[in-house]
Amino acid sequence: MNRFLRKEFEYILFPALFGFVLCGSIRGFYNIVSGTGTWLGEFSLKWGAAFLIYIAVCVCAFIIVIFSLRKREKLRFLIEKAVSFRERLGNARWLSAILVFISPVWLFQYTAWGLVFSDVYIRILIWSLVVLLFAFFIKKGDTLFGWTEFLAALLLTSSEFVIAVPFMNVTDHPFSLGWSEGNRMWDYSIMFGRQLYDYPADKNIYVLLDIGRQFVGGLPFIIPGLSIETERFWIALTVIIPYFLLGLAIFRFARTDRKVWLLASLWVLIFLKQGPIHPPLVLCAVIVALLWRSPLWLALPLIALTGYAAEESRYTWLFAPGMWIGMLELAGAALRNKKLNLHSWIRAVLLGLAGIAGGYLGPKIAGLLAGNSAAQAAISTSGIVEHISNQPLLWYRLLPNATYGIGILAGLLIAVLPLIIVLSYLAASKKWVLNVWQGLAVTVPLLAFLVVGLIVSTKIGGGGDLHNMDMFLIGLMFAGVLAWQNGGKVWLEKIDLAPIWVKLVIVLLLGVPGLQSLTVMRSYNFEKDASWLATLTDAENARELDMLPSQETTDHALNIIREEVAMAQSNGGEVLFLDQRQLLTFGYIRDVPLVPEYEKKLLMNEALSSNAAYFENFFADISAHRFALIVSEPLLDSVKDSSFQFGEENNAWIKWVSNPLLCYYESKTTLKDVGVQLLIPKTSPTDCSTQLPQENQ
């Protein structure tokens, strides 16, 4: 049966897939060259010739692949020549491997051609070529490469893409690179860098961010004179290093074989980055991994503290560490006659309860020690339900929608189905043996995490990616580790003997995370080349390329903001940085007393809850023209529906923030290139009382 499937794959499925990708890449190349001139219709002579050559290369590649599959023995001479060439290279083959390895990131993320060759089929072809060449160069022996080298090359290149993407935003550009990116750096700065601001030391500065993320993101602010580029570099590291540390911790039993340890740790990284998952929860999972199979006297107090830390970071995480450690201890215990011994039960139950108690009771105990009532010190389970119900649940976001194209359900299925299939295969084929209780220890927590994640993903303000599936993704990764340690590793070492369909699933398991990163890889630093890039990318104008503005444009915008701030202060008025607070953080705007209230993300959060009580002070302040100048993003008043990305969030912002502000204030200057609008009070009296929203409107 396996031989029949192998033949079907080699003779039918693989050629069909390869042909499909080739045709898609030809169409993508056509979209690049069309519109470049008038030769042969829409082509310039140079690009038209390149297109014809590309078609010829694709046709030749398809013929060669078909011939190699059906007449493999006739290519033995060429294979022997290639192997001989590799052996003659000696150590230079490693240099060749490194050059091949880094080439796609260099091309797509650090050259202008990355914007031109953005077509997914072209990128898949280039990636496939890189994987094959890399596997060829790292192989030893008298064959081109085997499944082991191929999968290793696929995993390493996939990891390369996942690691590279967060560094796209490492730049010294002073303005925000996203809706909340700039203000989020302001959030990070408060814990260790509040001295950067002109604000009374005895007054608290509230930020809408959990203490765990404040600590992780804010550590660099202990360095005097921290630059915005360095902070962005640190932020990129924080969304890479914790995942890798988790891989090293959970696979530490494989550290005797460092290559396997490294590759397994990289798999943890790329699998979890499909969320992505906030660093504090990943760090909690690192502690859980280290406590697995640790002495009970050490593990009990530390798992309780980990549960407490998880709850303090985000209330929905309070049960996660306890459930994870219970799963690992029970499902990872050795069986005797298909039964668990008493010691394994005791460890799993005690550690699970300790973790849950730390998350549930820890905040109450801390509150009592701090002099607060227990009711105020923690969020109970009923409080969690109440908190979630304060904001609408948009169930349609589980299905394809404008905010997250394929929808949460399909996106999650793509991310986890390959691993679930592999785990099911290992269990069904008895390569991973579990008894009933161990099976329940794996499936019950995962189902609980799945339900919670799906509900939270539909809450307004979410549903744009899989980050609310964080506990489920980590739990499923732990299940993969359990399978690997209980038979999966031995099976994987003999992957050549596995059915072809299982090998294809493993290819998807390793390739899908990398493909997600590969498709978004690009540069933002070629503003000077915007004209010819717009032609090749079919952009209507250079602005559509979303390039960072030139240094001259950036400096001009900063000077305008400085002048307007100085003018407002000279008249004795307050200046509110509703947005772009990082300009204060990194000293681009100096000597401005901080107005901590009415920060952009906080206003949005309260708008999503229709919190009329909160907005009473805001409306009172803007109606009294408290602020002589407000620094904001460009405010719009166009209402959207669910056919637009984050349509409901847009409408809440317009209702509670944008419309009231534009009623009492007017735009003095809009700096479109840097995404800033400067608002000043309207000179003529305006009665907006009938236009202000109410909670039930």
CB-based contact 109:523 (threshold 8 Å): yes
Q: How many domains does the chain have?
A: 3
pLDDT bracket for residue 382 (50, 70, 90): very low
CB crowding 78-104: b at 16 or more within 10 Å, else e: eeeeebeebeeeeeebeebbeebbeeb
Q: Check whether residue 502 and residue 403 sit in a common domain.
A: yes
Q: How far apart are CA 167 and CA 607, in angstroms?
A: 32
| pLDDT for residue 379 is more than 50 | no
Average pLDDT on 160-184 reads 95
Q: How far apart are CA 70 and CA 1, in angstroms?
A: 20
**583, HSE (Cβ side, Cα atoms, 13 Å):** 28
Q: What pLDDT sits at residue 647?
A: 81
State the pairing for strand pair 574-577/676-681.
unpaired
Q: What pLDDT sits at residue 381?
A: 47
Q: What is the pTM of this model?
A: 0.92
- Give percent of the chain above pLDDT 90: 64
Q: How far apart are CA 516 and CA 362, in angstroms?
A: 39
CB-based contact 322:356 (threshold 8 Å): yes
DSSP codes of every residue in 48-61: HHHHHHHHHHHHHH
Has residue 275 been placed in a domain? yes
Write a three-state SS string for 489-528: HHHHHCHHHCCHHHHHHHHHHHHHHHHHHHHHCCCCCCHH
- Least confident window among 119-133, 139-153, 373-387: 373-387
| pLDDT for residue 158 is more than 80 | yes
Residue among 521, 495, 520, 522 nearest 509 (CA): 495
CB-based contact 216:238 (threshold 8 Å): yes
Other beta carbons within 10 Å of 546: 10
pLDDT bracket for residue 575 (50, 70, 90): very high
DSSP character at residue 383: H
Q: What pLDDT sits at residue 374?
A: 42
Q: Check whether residue 380 and residue 269 sit in a common domain.
A: yes
- pLDDT tens-digit map of 429-473: 999 999 999 999 999 999 999 999 999 999 888 788 899 999 999
Is the backbone peptide bond immediately before 276 cis, with ω within 30 degrees of 0?
A: yes
Has residue 134 been placed in a domain? yes
Q: What pLDDT sits at residue 377?
A: 41
Q: Check whether residue 580 and residue 506 sit in a common domain.
A: no
CA angle 465, 466, 470 (to 5 degrees): 145
Q: Check whether residue 378 and residue 463 sit in a common domain.
A: yes
Average pLDDT on 249-278 reads 94
| pLDDT for residue 541 is more than 50 | yes
Has residue 163 been placed in a domain? yes
- pLDDT tens-digit map of 60-76: 998 888 877 777 776 77
Q: For residue 674, give both structure tokens.
A: 């840097």
- pLDDT tens-digit map of 435-447: 999 999 999 999 9
Last residue of a domain, one of 168, 198, 225: 168
Q: What pLDDT sits at residue 275?
A: 86
Has residue 495 been placed in a domain? yes
Q: What pLDDT sits at residue 649?
A: 86
Residue among 27, 22, 101 nearest 65 (CA): 22
Has residue 201 been placed in a domain? no
| pLDDT for residue 641 is more than 80 | no
Q: Check whether residue 298 and residue 392 sit in a common domain.
A: yes
Distance between first and last Cα of the chain: 65
Burial class (CB in 10 A: 0-12, 13-18, 19+), 684: exposed
Q: Check whether residue 289 and residue 383 sit in a common domain.
A: yes
Q: What pLDDT sits at residue 8?
A: 59
**SS3 call for 669:** strand
Bigger pLDDT: 474 vs 78? 474
Mean pLDDT for the chain overall: 89
Q: How far apart are CA 278 and CA 242, in angstroms?
A: 9
Average pLDDT on 596-604 reads 93
CB-based contact 524:109 (threshold 8 Å): no
Q: Check whether residue 479 and residue 586 sit in a common domain.
A: no
Q: Check whether residue 279 and residue 135 sit in a common domain.
A: no
pLDDT bracket for residue 690 (50, 70, 90): confident
Q: Check whether residue 373 and residue 417 sit in a common domain.
A: yes
Has residue 644 been placed in a domain? yes
CA angle 224, 229, 235 (to 5 degrees): 90
Average pLDDT on 265-290 reads 95
Q: What pLDDT sits at residue 6?
A: 57
CB-based contact 25:121 (threshold 8 Å): yes
| pLDDT for residue 397 is more than 80 | yes
Has residue 229 been placed in a domain? no
Q: What pLDDT sits at residue 367?
A: 67
pLDDT bracket for residue 11 (50, 70, 90): low
Last residue of a domain, one of 168, 201, 220: 168
Q: Check whether residue 433 and residue 381 sit in a common domain.
A: yes
Which range marks the domain in which residue 677 is found?
551-681
Average pLDDT on 349-354 reads 95
Q: Check whether residue 654 and residue 510 sit in a common domain.
A: no
pLDDT bracket for residue 53 (50, 70, 90): very high
Q: How far apart are CA 673 and CA 676, in angstroms?
A: 8
Q: Check whether residue 501 and residue 558 sit in a common domain.
A: no
Number of residues that this document lists for the chain:
697
Last residue of a domain, one of 143, 168, 193: 168
**SS3 call for 223:** coil
Has residue 531 been placed in a domain? no
Q: What pLDDT sits at residue 376?
A: 42
